[in-house]
Structure 1
Amino acid sequence: MFIFKSKPPLLRYICVYPKHNLCRTLKTVNPRVRFAPSPTGYLHLGGLRTALYNYLFAKSRGGAFVLRIEDTDQSRKVEGSVDALIQDLEWAGIECDEGPAKGGKYGPYVQSERLHIYQEQIKKLLDNGSAYKCFCTERRLNILRRDAIKSQKIPKYDNRCRNLSQEVIREKMKAGTPYCIRFKLSSDCLFFDDLIFGGIAYDVSINEGDPVLLKSDGYPTYHFANVVDDHLMGVTHVLRGVEWQISTTKHLLIYKAFGWTPPQFGHMPLIVNPDGTKLSKRHSDVRVEDYRNNGIYPLALVNYITLSGGGFDHVPGAGVRLKTMEELAKEFQIDKVSSHPSRLNPDLLEECNRLEIKRQLQDEELTKTIVTKVQKLVTEKYPEENLNISEDHVRNVLNWSTSRLTRIEELASSKFGFLWILPSNTVDVNKEVFEKLINTLEDISMKEFEQNCLKDHLKDFSTKNGIKFPVLMKMMRSALSGLNEGPGVAEMMQLLGKYQSLERIKAVMR
């Protein structure tokens, strides 16, 4: 048995038992899972990981993936965030089977549209004595919190209204005193088998007072709505972030009070930076939208997440292999998800994106789309230049770039301007030398017009014609690109191709 001893103190009372082989007990027939974000802003990397693993878990077992919007905290709702969230999920290749935009027999799928359902369900808990009306004012609750902090104790509600007499309740109701509804926590030390962490036991009443289920404005809290919706929507497995692990025994008590069978729970560890520090939502490297805008392909980002979090077979030393969504779903195994924090490796993201570009260039239709994108990027970057952005040239550049570049947008950078901008004919070169060079290049076969062979031919040419090799390279670089820096001359010629290389050299002689 292992006991957490980290701060805050409430974590001391979580007992974690060693993870065992859960495959034998895992219910795998047609599971129903859900991704239930709050519309408080953008979709971040952690949220995408949660959605992805739920999606893969469902698809790997012929189940259903449900999208539910948990907007009970109306004060934090950001306009337009639901549409943006759905767009991000669709961009990543995660399609919901049921949800706000798609519908389904368990809707509505937005919690603010389910208030009548929560009112019906809260009555059941009031009737069976599992919940009660609390008339404590916000001022009294603030005093409790202040006094607890002064005494260096954990702030929690003192359950004052739990034992109010019916007469007092009637008087307060008659007077129109505002109230919320709280749940009666018991001192049960509940145990559950976490699909990722193993066995966990925790007595929530040690560190918490009776929690609010329904606020005075009629909106449910997360803990109540979460349990009610998961049950009524037939959710069989809940895969969510480890930050909710501490609340799971509280949710189990609510399930018990209703007499409902709870789903199986699995909590995914934090995603952290390479140095182990927690990702910050303030940084642009956690927004899915930013990855998309910065030239990362969806399949690359999806693979990047799975490489850091486990859940798949990986052969050490085998390198990175890009997997399709279908392959990921087929291979996914919940018991192989690591319980340790998932450390991101930015180099893996770049490699995944390079592999995705390479994969798309093997498909004719996808290649056409990329060619059009490159032509547009280059035209926008150099609107007043004489450009070569023919389809053949762009395809040639793309084939060259698959082993060098990780983002298509890089091709429009100044570093690679020589690829597109035709040099002017004002370059100062030795015409006698270039006339001989043109004849030599014309005799080189297409098969030999590649970097290593070209380099040998150019060295041989410089020796036979009594011109120093660096001097020849400088003249040729000016003729080919008009730039002082860039790839080697032989590499540049291979990239430009025999025809265009000769045309550029001939152009400076006119």
Structure 2
Amino acid sequence: MSHLVRVRFAPSPTGPLHLGGLRTALYNYLFAKKHRGTFILRIEDTDKKRFVSNSESYILETLKWCRIEPDEGVGYGGPYSPYYQSKRGNIYHYYINKLLKKGKAYYAFDTDYDLNIKRKEYKKRGLTFSYNYRNRIELNNSLTMTKEELHNKLQSCSSYVIRFRVEPGEILKMHDIIRGNIIVYTNELDDKILLKSNGMATYHLANTIDDHIMKITHVLRGEEWLPSMSLHILLYKAFGWSIPNFAHLPLILRKDGKGKISKRNVDSLDFPIFPIQWKVPDTGIIIPGYRELGYFTESFVNMLALLGWNPGVKKEIFSLQELIHLFSLERIKKSGVFFDIKKANWFNKKYLNKKQEEIFSFLCKELKKRSILHKYKEDYLWKVIHIIIDRIHFVHEVWNHSFYFFIPPNSFEKNFLKKIIHKNIIDRLENEKIVISNVNVFTSVNLKFLFQNNKKRKIIMQLFRLALVGVLKGVDIFIIFEMLGKKESIQRIEKLIKEIKKKI
């Protein structure tokens, strides 16, 4: 494929990017880099009613965190500036005048009131009203006026929109790289608005013009834009421009089967959908993203890439460079893909082993906070990390899984403690304390051998765990014994004995 591949990611600044939007950006980036092309960021901000002020900075920060920064566009500059649709109005007006002159577009003066009456009339007859070739000749537009009438109408400053004139009777044959050949009959299409009554171009017009001017070769976007593909191709044809390649990406679906993930249903989801945290402008509420929850950039991007694309190999862990090398549009699925947070956690765990220096640093900070870092040699800290690393998915989980290697319990699990408030438990702990005291070589192997045939092994192990950890969790109890050493282990058992005596 030519090195002249040019793709664009064109979000609207109407809130934070969610997983679906970011995956679109990622696929555009991977495709561009695979073919040594250009990845462009364009802000499609023609819908001023839905504009959210901090959206643009959020988009830029997200792309930066994911390490999929654009080569050109908003925040990066380039030969086709400005990259904001709201600043390109003169360009759109120039091109829409061309369509008007060619008879490919027309003025429509129908008010909302007029159109609502038509809709109600059609509804009564069991039909759906559509502003199309069948109805436009009966409506208030320039197709039903003489040149003089149109001139007078425009001079009177009457409100209008400009609509695209769809020619009936055409079989529109289209091709989507992911979905294959698609046929649409123009008789089924309505005359979409290209220029709104406020003079702003609609997405359809602005997007088509910008893609042509910016020499976009491949349009990779979400499946929700598939119904608009026919209009966009008709616009290209009306202008006499070459048509780019289209690829419509599958939806990311909720695991519970309740449709696609969306910013609108963020509150009802049990997993995050934003890559980085989002501060809601009106309320100041902060919604954490994957970055703040402890996911590594590499694992997050790896997970996102495989959410709808199959690399064609058995392995699942890929660096960004490997993803670029393997990526192809032909291996993207047609059907929607389910998002599974457990799989996202699995990816993060896979990258954790490569991040042991970060785990070490985090653990040191936790110990420093408690003013006990000086008590432990570096070698001991690394041993702890190697013991517990298989139990964690995130760096920040290291303390919750290792605290008992550094500090004795301040309290004991209440429910289990209630069950063991008996004198015979104290006697048993005193006896086991003597047994442990007599072990000369205090290793996990020797301790395990010592207790392997004990008939009361289960309750003894639970008592030991409560004494050493404070709760009935943690790694192999004999490894904990060895790491703590004989003196510290006995002190913790004595502390539990005192606690039971207090409760009796």
Q: Tell me the TM-score range normalised by the shorter chain.
A: 0.7 to 0.9
Pair 1:191 & 2:177 matched: no
Of 455, 460, 465 in structure 1, the residue corresponding to residue 449 of structure 2 is 460
Counterparts of 1:388 and 1:202, CA distance in 2: 74
Change (3 A) 1:378 1:342: farther
User: Quick check: 2:253–2:261 contact (8 Å CA) kept in 1?
Assistant: no
Q: Deviations over 1:82-120 (max 9, x none)?
A: 111221122122111112111111111111111121122
User: Quick check: 1:30–1:58 contact (8 Å CA) kept in 2?
Assistant: no
Of 95, 99, 106 in structure 2, the residue corresponding to residue 132 of structure 1 is 106
- For 1:15, the equivalent position in structure 2 comes to none
User: Quick check: 1:308–1:345 contact (8 Å CA) kept in 2?
Assistant: no
Of 367, 372, 394 in structure 1, the residue corresponding to residue 361 of structure 2 is 372
CA shift at 1:184, angstroms? 0.9
User: Quick check: 1:479–1:504 contact (8 Å CA) kept in 2?
Assistant: no
Residue 370 of structure 1 aligns with an amino acid whose one-letter code is I
Residue 501 of structure 1 aligns with an amino acid whose one-letter code is G
Change (3 A) 1:504 1:100: same
Residue 345 of structure 1 aligns with an amino acid whose one-letter code is D
Counterparts of 1:275 and 1:97, CA distance in 2: 38
Pair 1:255 & 2:239 matched: no
Within-5 A mapping of 1:275-294? 276-281=257-262, 282-283=265-266, 284=269, 285=271, 286-289=273-276, 290-294=289-293
Q: Secondary structure at the match of 2:44?
A: coil
- For 1:323, the equivalent position in structure 2 comes to 318
Q: How many residues align?
A: 455
Counterparts of 1:474 and 1:101, CA distance in 2: 59
Larger deviation: 345-354 or 68-77?
345-354
- For 2:25, the equivalent position in structure 1 comes to 51
Runs (5+) with no aligned partner, structure 2: 277-288, 418-425, 496-504
Larger deviation: 271-280 or 431-440?
431-440
CA shift at 1:417, angstroms? 4.3
Counterparts of 2:220 and 2:70, CA distance in 1: 15
Change (3 A) 1:431 1:311: closer
Runs (5+) with no aligned partner, structure 1: 1-26, 362-366
Change (3 A) 1:360 1:176: same
Within-5 A mapping of 1:14-53? 27-53=1-27
CA shift at 1:479, angstroms? 4.2
Q: Secondary structure at the match of 1:104?
A: coil
CA shift at 1:390, angstroms? 6.9
Change (3 A) 1:375 1:146: farther
- For 2:204, the equivalent position in structure 1 comes to 223
- For 2:75, the equivalent position in structure 1 comes to 101
- For 2:162, the equivalent position in structure 1 comes to 181
Pair 1:483 & 2:471 matched: yes
Residue 195 of structure 1 aligns with an amino acid whose one-letter code is I
Within-5 A mapping of 1:67-106? 67-106=41-80
Change (3 A) 1:377 1:47: farther
- For 1:171, the equivalent position in structure 2 comes to 152
Q: Deviations over 1:12-31 (max 9, x none)?
A: xxxxxxxxxxxxxxx44331
Q: Deviations over 1:189-210 (max 9, x none)?
A: 21122100001111244142x1
Q: Secondary structure at the match of 2:80?
A: coil
Of 89, 96, 115 in structure 1, the residue corresponding to residue 89 of structure 2 is 115
User: Quick check: 1:241–1:268 contact (8 Å CA) kept in 2?
Assistant: yes
Counterparts of 1:387 and 1:342, CA distance in 2: 50
Q: Secondary structure at the match of 2:200?
A: coil
What TM-score do you get using the length of structure 1 for normalisation? 0.80
- For 2:488, the equivalent position in structure 1 comes to 504
Q: Deviations over 1:131-180 (max 9, x none)?
A: 12222212212223333344333332232314122111111112111222
Q: Secondary structure at the match of 2:484?
A: helix
- For 1:144, the equivalent position in structure 2 comes to 118
Change (3 A) 1:279 1:484: same
Q: Secondary structure at the match of 1:266?
A: strand
Residue 328 of structure 2 aligns with an amino acid whose one-letter code is Q
CA shift at 1:36, angstroms? 0.7
User: Quick check: 1:33–1:237 contact (8 Å CA) kept in 2?
Assistant: yes
Within-5 A mapping of 1:400-439? 400-413=387-400, 417-423=403-409, 433-434=432-433, 437-438=436-437
- For 1:443, the equivalent position in structure 2 comes to 441
Larger deviation: 37-46 or 289-298?
289-298
Residue 41 of structure 1 aligns with an amino acid whose one-letter code is G
User: Quick check: 2:411–2:470 contact (8 Å CA) kept in 1?
Assistant: no
Of 480, 485, 492 in structure 2, the residue corresponding to residue 492 of structure 1 is 480
Counterparts of 1:128 and 1:230, CA distance in 2: 21
CA shift at 1:467, angstroms? 8.9
Q: Secondary structure at the match of 1:141?
A: helix
Change (3 A) 1:32 1:432: same
User: Quick check: 2:405–2:484 contact (8 Å CA) kept in 1?
Assistant: no
User: Quick check: 1:271–1:279 contact (8 Å CA) kept in 2?
Assistant: yes
What TM-score do you get using the length of structure 2 for normalisation? 0.81
User: Quick check: 1:459–1:469 contact (8 Å CA) kept in 2?
Assistant: no
Counterparts of 2:198 and 2:160, CA distance in 1: 9
- For 1:22, the equivalent position in structure 2 comes to none
Change (3 A) 1:478 1:339: closer
